[in-house]
Amino acid sequence: MSDTLHIRGLEVERGNKLRTCLPVLDTTIEIPITIINGRNDGPTLLITAGIHGGEYPGIAAAMELGRDITPEDISGCLIMMHPVNIQGFWARRAFVVPEDGKNLNREFPGDVNGTLSQKTAWLLSQHFFPLADFYVDMHSGDIHEELHPYVYYPGLPNNEISEKSREVAKILDMEFMVRSMATTGAYNCAAISGIPSLLIERGGAGLCLREDIEAYKNDVRNILRKLGMFSRPVQPRRHSPRDVVDIIYLESMETGCWLHHIHSGDYVEKGQELGRLVNVFGETITSYYAEQDGVILYICPALAAPKDTVLVAYGKLMLD
pLDDT tens digits for range 34-76: 999 999 999 999 999 999 999 999 999 999 999 999 999 999 9
Digit-coded pLDDT (tens) for 119-145: 999 999 999 999 999 999 999 998 889
pLDDT, mean of residues 217-243: 92
Q: What is the CATH architecture assignment of 244-317? A: Beta Barrel (2.40)
User: CATH topology of 4-226 equal to that of 244-317?
Assistant: no
Digit-coded pLDDT (tens) for 264-303: 999 999 999 999 999 999 999 999 999 999 999 999 999 9
pLDDT, mean of residues 91-98: 94
Query: At the topology level of CATH, where does 4-226 sit?
Result: Aminopeptidase (3.40.630)
On the question of pLDDT at 156 being above 70, the answer is yes
SS3 of the chain:
CCCEEEECCEEEECCEEEEEEEECCCCCCEEEEEEEECCEEEEEEEEEECCCCCCHHHHHHHHHHHHHCCHHHEEEEEEEECCCCHHHHHHCCCCEECCCCEEHHHCCCCCCCCCHHHHHHHHHHHHHHHHCCEEEEEECCCCCCEECCEEEEECCCCHHHHHHHHHHHCCCCCCEEEEECCCCCHHHHHHHCCCCEEEEECCCCCCCCHHHHHHHHHHHHHHHHHCCCECCCCCCCCCCCEEEEEEEEEECCCCEEEECCCCCCCEECCCCEEEEEECCCCCEEEEEECCCCEEEEEECCCCEECCCCEEEEEEEECCC
pTM of the entire predicted model: 0.95
- What is the distance between the alpha carbons of residues 44 and 42, in angstroms, rounded to a whole number? 7
Q: Could you state, in order of their start, the residue ranges of all structural domains in the chain?
A: 4-226, 244-317
